[in-house]
A = this chain, B = another copy of it.
Amino acid sequence: MNLPANKKNISIVCFSGDFDKMIAAFTIATGAAATNREVTMFFTFWGLNALKKKKGRVAMGNSIMARAFNFLMGGLNNLPLSRLNFFGASSKLMTGMMKKHNVASLPELVDAAHALGIRIVACEMAMHILELEQSDLIEEVQDVVGVATFLNDSEESHIIFI
């Protein structure tokens, strides 16, 4: 492993809330942070499911539309696999396979991200559309920011859209 002198930071747009893609996002993020990179994870749309305080299917927001949509979207415990989902069975199967091989689970990866100082922010526009407040999200979320701010903060980073 060659350690480059000036490491580029990593900014990940976590758009897709699929279980497997979330694992990928947090694995890249923690791997980058563990090797001394500054990492920002910008959660938007389906990705916000991983950050909701209530981890099951809960109707959130004020309007009927938002409540129905948030209920259907679910939370950290309902993230589907991007393929072969079988109504959620595969996420459990994959979690079992990861556990068997001592690979960190998704909640463990979220904890590790926080411990490694990864900056976790939520997308302002998506929060607005889904009628979510920062108080609806886990306390590891540091800020709610707009796209332009995220891009400015990522000027010198790799930007990865997952």
Which A residues are within 8 Å of any B CB, using their own CB? 1-4, 6-8, 10, 13, 15-18, 20-21, 24, 27-28, 31-32, 34-35, 37, 44-46, 63, 65-66, 68-69, 72-73, 80, 82-84, 93-94, 96-98, 100-101, 103, 125, 128-130, 146-149, 151-155, 158-162
User: In the complex, what's the smallest C-beta–C-beta distance from A20 to chain B, in angstroms?
Assistant: 6
Question: Contacts A4-B155, A72-B84 hold; do A44 and B66 have CB atoms under 8 A apart?
Answer: no
The reply to whether A45 and B72 form a contact with Cβ atoms under 8 Å apart is no
CB-defined contacts of A80 to chain B, threshold 8 Å:
83
User: In the complex, what's the smallest C-beta–C-beta distance from A97 to chain B, in angstroms?
Assistant: 5
The reply to whether B46 and A98 form a contact with Cβ atoms under 8 Å apart is no
Give the complex CA separation of A7 and B83 in angstroms: 36
Give the complex CA separation of A128 and B155 in angstroms: 35
Question: Contacts A46-B83, A152-B4, A160-B161 hold; do A100 and B21 have CB atoms under 8 A apart?
Answer: no
